[in-house]
Structure 1
Amino acid sequence: MTTLKPLICSNSARNSAAGGGTASAASSRHGPERHRWLVRRHRVHLQKCDRYEVGETVIAGYDDQDQDPAHDPSVAFSPASPTVRRRTTMPSYATAPPRSMPRVGALMWLVQPLYIACELVAAAAATAPYSLMDNTISDLGATTCTTIAYPYGDIPVCSPLNLLVNGAFVGFGLLMALGAVLLRGWLPRGAAATTAVVLWVVTGLSSIATGLVPLDRDLELHVLVALPAFVTQFLALLVTAYVVRHRRGPSRAALLAGVVSLVGLVAFLARTGSAELGGLFERLALWPGYLWLPVLAVVVLRERRPVDPAR
């Protein structure tokens, strides 16, 4: 628990901290351990005072690990380095989240490219004429062999592996959303990181709804629930690129994926009146996200340092 104490930055305090006068006077009464503690406290005091004007009173926080050894027997000092402290109690998980949580989220993102594999398998098994360049992804999720009345004409659909496609929409969308939430503790602090997580969650939820409402059941509702994923995914990529900008590789890859996704979305919306190249542009809008997510996942899984709970 952090205790706030007034830090009075005065010339006398600076002189005392610089020369260790108070600490020297107290050493004979309290022994060398007390002397080391006072010297260290005065040095910390001086360092904090350097950030403010002389004579200014500042409220500074001292954590409970820096207590007077005369009053806190649980604090032990290393003989080799008096400034190093350790406590006999373990840290609480209430303030330090388990390190495994972001790693679990990373594993959920690591498998995202398998969605594309499911889509390709279903496309190969389609019994109606199907082209990855022209047909939409949703045609593979049709639960019956029928004809879909698109604005540009009727398109026959028949996908024996529709359960695989719809299950991939739901399953990988769920993994995407949960993975984003679990990875929040790994990302830096700030509104941008939170915004990125929200965008990935919305993208995942849109994918789930798309799988639950096949286009041959309700075309208008299917389009309505699928549309958010197109908009939020490229935004999520761009925002995440900014959030992880201190890691050039993943950041640049996310930026490139976001730009490609945006171009694909614009081209796809511009050609809603034609079936030609509709499938290509739709995949350019959606596939970059599935391909980039494992990039960040690998970075998280390879990182060995503990997660900073203050992030």
Structure 2
Amino acid sequence: MKISKNVGITSWILTCMYFVIEPFFVMSSIAPYSLMDHAMSDLGVTSCGEYTYALAAYDICSPYHFWMNILFIVNGITFSIGILYLSQQLEQNKKNRIGTICLLLLALGNIVSGFIPADVNLFWHSIFAQLGMVTFLIGLWLFGKLLVRGKWWTYCILVSLIILVVFIVLLIFIPLPAGLLQRMFYGVTFLWGTVLAVILANNKGAYR
């Protein structure tokens, strides 16, 4: 089924709305919550206290966790629609198909994170999102190779995300603002898709 221009662009705008809605859950948190240091997933944790999951050696209590998890699921769905819309603007070949799957894995991670909160099962909660951060880079590179309009925008975003992934990996060794890095990764990702959808609104010459 072909995704219309209006639906495609709207899906990206709705995906970006995550960052408009999230502050409500941050402000409603009973335990102190830091956008800089705390993971986005902490707002969807279903229990209160310290060590609600293995990596959370701090207090968490998000009274509206159910709706936060709904937000993760809806965000993943709109994210997926946006990716599929961009994919259909490109030449339909093997490179496109592989790139689309690589991009969709990150969106799938958002959906799974909503269905399986971190305190329920940390491995399944996070595995698709973590893999998706890597495969998304591959998907961007493949899309960039197919694009004419939006090519350099895509490559600039790719470089930015590679830098962010390096810093996220460094979290293993160096105390860095994990929450900020995670939000920057998703923020840059959502911005890429929204801008590219507008660029490709008239799909003449979208790909070579």
> Which TM-score band (shorter chain)?
0.7 to 0.9
Q: Identity over aligned residues, as a percent?
A: 25
Measure the CA separation in 2 of the matches of 1:139 and 1:123: 10
Structure 1 residues 217, 145: closer, same or farther in 2, change over 3 A? same
| 3-state secondary structure, aligned to 1:160 | coil
Q: Please, which runs of 5 or more residues in structure 1 have no aligned partner?
A: 1-96
- Who is 1:41 aligned against? none
Structure 1 residues 126, 275: closer, same or farther in 2, change over 3 A? farther
User: Where has structure 1 moved over 6 Å in runs of 4 or more?
Assistant: none
In angstroms, what is the RMSD of aligned CA positions? 2.8
Please, which of 169, 180, 200 is the counterpart of residue 280 of structure 1?
A: 180
Alignment of 1:49-60 (within 5 A): none
TM-score (norm 2): 0.83
Greater strand share, 1 or 2? 1
Measure the CA separation in 2 of the matches of 1:243 and 1:120: 37
Structure 1 residues 277, 304: closer, same or farther in 2, change over 3 A? closer
Report the structure number with the largest CA radius of gyration: 1
> 1:137-164: per-residue Cα shift (whole Å, max 9, x none)?
111111222223545x612111233233
| 3-state secondary structure, aligned to 2:62 | coil
Measure the CA separation in 2 of the matches of 1:222 and 1:185: 29
8 Å Cα contact 1:262-1:285 kept in structure 2:
no
8 Å Cα contact 1:108-1:179 kept in structure 2:
yes
TM-score (norm 1): 0.58
Greater helix share, 1 or 2? 2
Please, which of 39, 44, 47 is the counterpart of residue 144 of structure 1?
A: 47
- Who is 1:216 aligned against? 119
1:254 CA displacement: 2.0
> 1:135-192: per-residue Cα shift (whole Å, max 9, x none)?
11111111222223545x6121112332333222211211222333344332124333
- Who is 1:179 aligned against? 82
Alignment of 1:214-253 (within 5 A): 214-244=117-147, 246-247=148-149, 250-253=150-153
**Residue 292 in structure 1 maps to residue 192 in structure 2:** yes
Structure 1 residues 110, 255: closer, same or farther in 2, change over 3 A? same
**Residue 198 in structure 1 maps to residue 198 in structure 2:** no
Q: Please, which runs of 5 or more residues in structure 2 have no aligned partner?
A: none
8 Å Cα contact 1:145-1:157 kept in structure 2:
yes
- Who is 1:23 aligned against? none
Higher relative contact order (CA 8 A, sep 6+): 2
1:194 CA displacement: 2.2
Structure 1 residues 304, 139: closer, same or farther in 2, change over 3 A? closer
Amino acid at match of 1:255: Y
1:235 CA displacement: 2.7
